[in-house]
Amino acid sequence: MTTHVTLEDALSNVDLLEELPLPDQQPCIEPPPSSIMYQANFDTNFEDRNAFVTGIARYIEQATVHSSMNEMLEEGHEYAVMLYTWRSCSRAIPQVKCNEQPNRVEIYEKTVEVLEPEVTKLMKFMYFQRKAIERFCSEVKRLCHAERRKDFVSEAYLLTLGKFINMFAVLDELKNMKCSVKNDHSAYKRAAQFLRKMADPQSIQESQNLSMFLANHNRITQVTANSLLVSSWRPGSRGPQAGGLEQRSSVQI
């Protein structure tokens, strides 16, 4: 007996063939294609400066200087984030109430163990601001040379020097407003002196320098201004203390 199949049923049966599994038991030797993503990045920090070989080498030198200054600005931003997010650790540490307390040695040891990494960060911050001030003053001194006044100075270079001034001001204000930084360092210094952790004269001197650096407000900007005055003074002039300078910077940032 012949069965009549409609056209719709025939088409539906053909569509069902796509769901029919047909395993061939053969391994796939072709790997899946890897996706390729293209992204243009123009913030290269002058890494491609060596590709542009020209007859004037000072532009390559300026790009090298600019690149290293941008790296220093990024490091300064990291220290600004560190100061802004600083939270007091010494407040959570039990304090020694009297000299006869039996566990005071253990408290001081735990205080040093907890606060030593944080004080190390502050010490690195002090070294960084010294290096940044020296770098900034050397660039300004080189920029104010009599022969440099005849050359073209790029706007990006001047803006970078301006960013250095802004970085100094931001770091100074963050250091001024964070009392927790000074409290943590004082607690560490008190515990380290009791345990005689700082025995050599160099460690004692560096600890005192860090204390003065944290205690004095606007220390970074004041040292920068004094360094610029000293670098611009030369024998024969009245000097910074005599009320005026004969040689002044002709570049305004």
Question: For the ranges 91-95, 102-106, 149-153, 248-252, which has the lowest average pLDDT?
Answer: 248-252
* Rounded-to-integer distance, Cα 123 and Cα 52, Å: 40
- 113-152 residues labelled b (16+ CB within 10 A) or e (exposed): ebbeebbeebbebbebbeebbeebbebbeebbeeeeeeee
Residue 244: its pLDDT value, please? 38
* Rounded-to-integer distance, Cα 78 and Cα 184, Å: 20
Q: What is the mean pLDDT of residues 113-121?
A: 91
DSSP letter for each residue of 114-179: HHHHHHHHHHHHHHHHHHHHHHHHHHHHHHTSTTGGGS---HHHHHHHHHHHHHHHHHHHHHHH-H
Higher pLDDT: 122 or 229? It is 122
Whether 197 contacts 102, CB under 8 Å: no
Mean pLDDT for all residues in the chain? 80
* Rounded-to-integer distance, Cα 86 and Cα 66, Å: 30
Residue 95: its pLDDT value, please? 81
Higher pLDDT: 17 or 169? It is 169
- What's the maximum distance between 2 C-alpha atoms anywhere in the chain? 126
pLDDT digits (tens, 9 = 90+) for 50-73: 666 555 556 677 777 888 899 999
pLDDT band at 107 (very low <50, low <70, confident <90, very high): confident
Higher pLDDT: 213 or 148? It is 213
Residue 132: its pLDDT value, please? 95
On the question of pLDDT at 246 being above 70, the answer is no
What is the pTM for the complete model shown?
0.68
On the question of pLDDT at 49 being above 80, the answer is no
* Rounded-to-integer distance, Cα 158 and Cα 169, Å: 17
Element containing residue 68 per DSSP (H, E): helix 58-84
Residue 163: its pLDDT value, please? 93
Q: What is the mean pLDDT of residues 196-212?
A: 84
Share of the chain above pLDDT 90, in %: 30
